[in-house]
């Protein structure tokens, strides 16, 4: 039996959905999640010298730009590949492998270009790269053309030849026929890969068939997938499904929760209006053999990570799995939250850090910029310990970042990858690379009587009160407007904030008054909150 491997192509094939404009923070987060899942290979985008360099796009004119975007990231044991559509990136734009962040390059080409494209593959091999030859629309090859392709490949020696079902037309019988020809004709040292599309919803099934073929050959095999199947038209084989199958049937140990976290935090924002593929909502329900209304109930709480949701759904027993019982799930949820972690030692350690310090908490409101002089003057005079909530200002770099949800975690991922800023996180946020410095139990911080139980400023103030802090200074907490921008970065705007501005302002004003004997709150910048 040959070795089987898994490749993620989200940042490359998924780019057909959004013109490769994932945004740099999303690109970093996707990379880190896919690597942390234990994926064998990650494809980080196209190399295309017709396109200008763009920090926010995963399509790059040369290997130097790959370094600019991804060079600071830890690849761990994952191989990093780029892709070239033959003829769109000259060899002059490719530095030798030992001067590049890339380990390998995949070259995709149509059958009439096979001779020239494989010669190009040979040139890349001379530069030290692992090189894969990708057969566009493999279903368009006749048997004789496939054998001719193998003849050329055996001469030029790419490390792999991959079947690319560009239009999603291949059913298992046809795919097996192509695979058998390649296996018979190609040099035994070459890997055979499969890249499927879901036009006939066969991508996942075909991956299973290719993997099963490993039991009758000594040749190494590779299958592709993308997060949530993100890709051109109907999308690709969903990597979370393929990885789950490989775990169950072939003893692999990919971390499925990391793929699901990336889907939730990075991919779903691109799903509308450019919808593709299937539904993660039903995937989670099906993978836990439970009624989908349980998933809906937990999703609507906005407090659980995908990993925690799966853990909680795993507690469903017997007939309750498929017979939806709202009260039963609510009981399980409360028990899960209450027993999640014991953070007493974390609070004790954090109390020592905060002891006798002037505390400045910064928020993402517009006044962090428009009233920066006030903040600078305060900082200069008081040398405060700065804690930012779910963001970081370049003007007032924090000593600590308080994180309360995965989406905000993504938005600061680039900063956290490049600078060692300690994190105080609520227990619903899943770390990617290293553990957070401090983790506090979210169940102790939620206000279950509020319409929005997880207000981040409220939760941090509760943490500070538990740590014995008696006075805090706030900047950039402007309150909410029903008409004006509520955030310096409008991309951080919650869809409900303007509709619920009066409620949110009233809620926090009430919190300040209720806890005025516990902690004194000073606003350095203009706010709509009432603390009188």
Closest among 152, 49, 163 to 106, alpha carbons compared: 163
Contact status, residue 132 vs residue 82, Cβ threshold 8 Å: no
Of 246 and 1, more confident: 246
Contact status, residue 323 vs residue 349, Cβ threshold 8 Å: no
Q: Does 501 score more than 90 pLDDT?
A: no
Q: From edge to edge, which strands make up the β-sheet containing 520-523? A: 438-440, 423-426, 400-403, 385-389, 359-362, 471-475, 520-523
Write the pLDDT tens digit of every residue in 400-429.
999 988 778 877 887 777 788 999 999 888
Contact status, residue 87 vs residue 114, Cβ threshold 8 Å: no
For residue 160, which phi and psi values (nearest 5 degrees)? -155, 155
Outline where DSSP puts E strands in 141-290: 160-164, 191-195, 221-225
CA atoms within a 13 Å half-sphere pointing along the CA-CB vector of 484: 11
Output DSSP code: residue 238.
B
Write the pLDDT tens digit of every residue in 138-169.
988 999 999 999 999 999 999 999 999 988 88
pLDDT of residue 289: 84
4-270 CATH, one of 1.20.1440.230, 3.20.20.70, 3.40.50.1260, 3.30.450.20: 3.20.20.70
DSSP result, 430-496:
PPSSSPPSEEE-GGGT--TTSSSTT-HHHHHHHHHHHTT--EEEEES-----SSS-SSSSGGG--TT
pLDDT of residue 503: 87
Closest among 295, 325, 167 to 233, alpha carbons compared: 167
DSSP result, 4-53:
EEEEE-HHHHTHHHHTTB--HHHHHHHHHHHHHTT-SEEEEEEE-TTSPP
Q: How confident is the model at residue 99 (pLDDT cuts 50, 70, 90)?
A: very high
Q: Does 305 score more than 60 pLDDT?
A: yes
Contact status, residue 448 vs residue 461, Cβ threshold 8 Å: no
Stated as kind and residue range, the H or E segment containing 172 is helix 172-185
2-6, 300-304, 383-387, 447-451: the lowest-pLDDT one: 300-304
Closest among 417, 423, 380 to 398, alpha carbons compared: 423
Token pair of 423, please? 């994190």
6-15, 298-307, 326-335, 387-396: the lowest-pLDDT one: 298-307
pLDDT of residue 145: 96
pLDDT of residue 448: 79
Token pair of 67, please? 């370094």
Q: Does 502 score more than 80 pLDDT?
A: yes
pLDDT of residue 379: 93
Cα separation, 493 vs 485, whole angstroms? 8
Buried b (16+ CB within 10 A) or exposed e, 222-242: bbbbbbbbbbbebbbbbbbbb
Write the pLDDT tens digit of every residue in 132-142.
999 998 988 99
Domain chopping of the chain, boundaries = 4-270, 285-338, 344-523
Q: 294 preceded by cis ω (within 30°)?
A: no
Write the pLDDT tens digit of every residue in 17-71.
999 999 999 999 999 999 999 999 999 999 999 999 999 999 999 999 999 999 9
pLDDT of residue 490: 65
Q: Does 321 score more than 90 pLDDT?
A: no
Output DSSP code: residue 291.
-
pLDDT of residue 307: 82
Average pLDDT over residues 188-205: 93
Contact status, residue 306 vs residue 260, Cβ threshold 8 Å: yes
Percent of all residues in the chain with a pLDDT value above 70, rounded to a whole number: 96
User: Which residue is it, tokens 């349980």?
Assistant: 294
């Amino acid at each position: 039996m040959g070795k089987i491997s898994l490749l993620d192509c989200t940042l490359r094939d998924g780019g057909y959905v959004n013109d490769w404009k994932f945004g740099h923070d999303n690109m970093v987060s996707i990379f880190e999640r896919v690597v942390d899942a234990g994926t064998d290979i990650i494809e980080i985008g196209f190399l295309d010298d017709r396109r200008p360099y763009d920090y926010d796009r995963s399509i790059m004119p040369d290997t130097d730009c790959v370094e600019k975007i991804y060079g600071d990231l830890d690849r761990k044991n994952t191989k990093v590949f780029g892709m070239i559509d033959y003829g769109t990136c000259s060899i002059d734009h490719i530095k030798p492998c030992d001067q590049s962040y890339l380990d390998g390059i995949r070259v995709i080409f149509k059958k009439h270009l096979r001779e020239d494209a494989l010669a190009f593959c040979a040139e890349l091999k001379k530069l030290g790269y692992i090189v894969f030859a990708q057969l566009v629309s493999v279903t368009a090859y006749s048997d004789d053309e496939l054998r001719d392709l193998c003849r050329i490949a055996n001469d030029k020696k790419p490390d792999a030849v991959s079947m690319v079902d560009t239009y999603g037309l291949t059913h298992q019988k046809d795919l097996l026929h192509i695979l058998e020809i390649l296996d018979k004709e190609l040099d035994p040292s070459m890997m055979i890969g499969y890249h499927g599309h879901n036009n006939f919803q066969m991508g996942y099934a075909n991956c299973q068939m290719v993997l099963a073929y490993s039991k009758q050959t000594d040749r190494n095999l590779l299958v592709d997938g993308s997060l949530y199947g993100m890709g051109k038209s109907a999308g690709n084989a969903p990597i979370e499904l393929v990885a789950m199958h490989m775990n169950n049937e072939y003893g692999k140990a990919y971390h499925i929760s990391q793929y699901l976290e990336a889907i939730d935090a990075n991919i779903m924002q691109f799903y509308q209006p450019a919808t593709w593929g299937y539904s993660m909502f039903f995937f989670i329900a099906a993978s836990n053999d439970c009624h989908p209304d349980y998933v809906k109930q937990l999703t609507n709480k906005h407090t659980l990570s995908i990993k925690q949701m799966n853990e909680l759904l795993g507690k469903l027993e017997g007939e309750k799995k498929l017979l939806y019982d709202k009260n039963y799930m609510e009981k399980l949820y409360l028990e899960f939250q209450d027993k999640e972690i014991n953070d007493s030692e974390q609070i004790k350690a954090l109390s020592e850090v905060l002891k006798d310090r002037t505390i400045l908490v910064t928020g993402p409101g517009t006044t962090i910029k428009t009233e920066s002089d006030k903040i600078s003057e305060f900082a200069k005079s008081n040398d405060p310990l700065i804690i930012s909530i779910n963001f970081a200002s370049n003007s007032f770099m924090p000593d600590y970042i308080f994180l309360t949800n995965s989406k905000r975690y993504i938005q600061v991922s680039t900063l956290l990858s490049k600078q060692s800023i300690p994190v105080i996180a609520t227990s619903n946020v899943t770390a990617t690379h290293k553990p957070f410095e401090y983790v506090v139990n979210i169940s102790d911080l939620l206000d279950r009587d509020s319409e929005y139980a997880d207000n981040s400023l409220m939760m941090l103030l509760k943490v500070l009160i538990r740590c014995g802090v008696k006075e805090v200074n706030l900047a950039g907490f402007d309150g909410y407007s029903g008409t004006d921008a509520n955030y310096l970065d409008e991309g951080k705007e919650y869809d409900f904030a303007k509709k619920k501005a009066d409620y949110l302002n009233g809620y926090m004003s009430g919190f300040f008054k209720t806890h005025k004997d516990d902690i004194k709150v000073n606003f350095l910048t203009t706010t709509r909150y009432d603390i009188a």
